[in-house]
Amino acid sequence: MRLSEAIKNLHGKYKNDLTGDVSKSFPALSQVDPDAFAISIATVEGDVINVGQADQSFSIQSISKPFSYGLALEQHGHLFVEKKVGMEPTGEDFDSIIKLDDQNRPFNPMVNSGAIVTSGLIDAKNYATKKEELLQYFSAFAGQPLGIDDEVYQSEANNAHKNFAISYLLRHFKVMTSDFREDLDLYFNQCSVSVNTDSLAMMGATLANKGINPLTQKRCISHENLRHVLSIIFTCGMYNYSGEWAFDVGLPAKSGISGAILLIVPGLAGIAIYSPRLDKRGNSVRGIKVCEELSEQFKFHIFDYQTPKEISKIL
């Protein structure tokens, strides 16, 4: 069976699975249609296959984290970034109150504390240009201009008491400087970037295509930094489910509390699933099921060896 057929089948199979609930973190997230369900595949050749409401927009939330980490790596190099944020999974909730490692760093850039520190590393002339730089960087991965959903941004900025608490603690421990409110605001903005499964899958296809966008042929990240980003996504991308995910699915994936999962099949495709009903860890319930079945069916697990001939039969 081909991948395009498989996602149609999986969409049909899980369409009526209404397990889980939408995020209650802030009003804009709790008001979305809980039953929306879309799957998109963007291949490294630039072809896109959509099933369901693939044009329905949603905020990228935590799936922004690997991209802002990529930008920080591109701007400063990994030796500098490594001094500020580590690369160890935490085994804890993504928004748990900070624990720093023995070098006074958040554990990794995929949990909120590490992501807020990473946003603070983004360099530009002033705050407005930082926002612009970030948006352009994300857009290059998508191969199309992306924008910020202001309603989502306002809703998070006015309700993210825990992220404020985390940031004040980061300031207290001198991990962040006195500009931390601006850094946190940039983080809220990056989480509010509006995507749909179609554009998100293309962002993943760029990661799957050695860092080159399949549509524009623009290199978005160096080969070395791409390896760093994919390693972090692989070990930390599904929060405190990352170990089990590596065991079962065996591919780098990043989830966000808006209900999306971005799965990267290196050398083949980016796959985006949107289904806002979440499990207790904040991962999309149907998103997990679709990824598990795809990995199983096509032997995508990185430790399942596939010959080039076998791979050519998938698309």
Instruction: Note whether 25 binds ligand GLN by CB under 6 A.
Output: yes
Q: Does the footprint of ligand GLN cover residue 282 (CB under 6 A)?
A: yes
94 versus 138: smaller Cβ distance to ligand GLN:
94
- Looking at the Cβ atoms of 34 and 46, the one nearer to ligand GLN is 34
Does 61 interact with ligand GLN (rule: CB under 6 A)? yes
Residues in contact with 269: Cβ distance below 8 Å, sequence separation at least 6, in sequence order: 3, 41, 42, 43, 44, 201, 204, 205, 208, 315
Residue with tokens 């973190």: 25
Which residue bears the tokens 């690997």?
A: 66
Q: Classify 41 as helix, strand or coil.
A: strand
Least gap, CB of 156 to ligand GLN (angstroms): 6
User: By CB under 6 A, is residue 257 in contact with ligand GLN?
Assistant: yes
Per CB under 6 A, does 191 bind ligand GLN? yes
- Taking CB under 6 A as the rule, does residue 54 contact ligand GLN? no
Closest CA to 138 of 72, 67, 196: 67
Angle at 184 between CA 178 and CA 190, to 5 degrees: 145
Task: Identify residue 176 by its one-letter amino acid code.
Answer: M
By C-beta, is 43 or 189 nearer to ligand GLN?
189
Which of 40, 43, 50, 62: binder of ligand GLN (CB under 6 A)? 62
Residue nearer to ligand GLN on the CB measure, 164 or 210? 164
Residue 149 within binding range of ligand GLN, rule CB under 6 A: no
Instruction: Give the helix/strand (H/E) hosting 267.
Output: none
> Which listed residue (156, 175, 204, 232) binds ligand GLN by CB under 6 A?
156
Q: 223 vs 143, 208, 233, 235, CA distance in Å?
A: 18, 11, 15, 19
Count, residues near ligand GLN per rule CB under 6 A: 12
Closest CB 262 distance from ligand GLN, rounded Å: 12
CB of residue 135 vs ligand GLN: minimum separation in angstroms?
Answer: 16
According to the binding rule CB under 6 A, does residue 256 interact with ligand GLN?
Answer: yes
44 vs 291, which CB is nearer to ligand GLN?
A: 291
Counting contacts by CB under 6 A, is residue 287 touching ligand GLN?
Answer: no
283 scored as a contact of ligand GLN (CB under 6 A): no
User: For 209-224, b where at least 16 C-beta lie within 10 A, e where not — what string?
Assistant: bebbbbbbeeebbeee
> Where does this chain bind ligand GLN (CB under 6 A)?
25, 61-62, 94-95, 112, 156, 163, 191, 256-257, 282
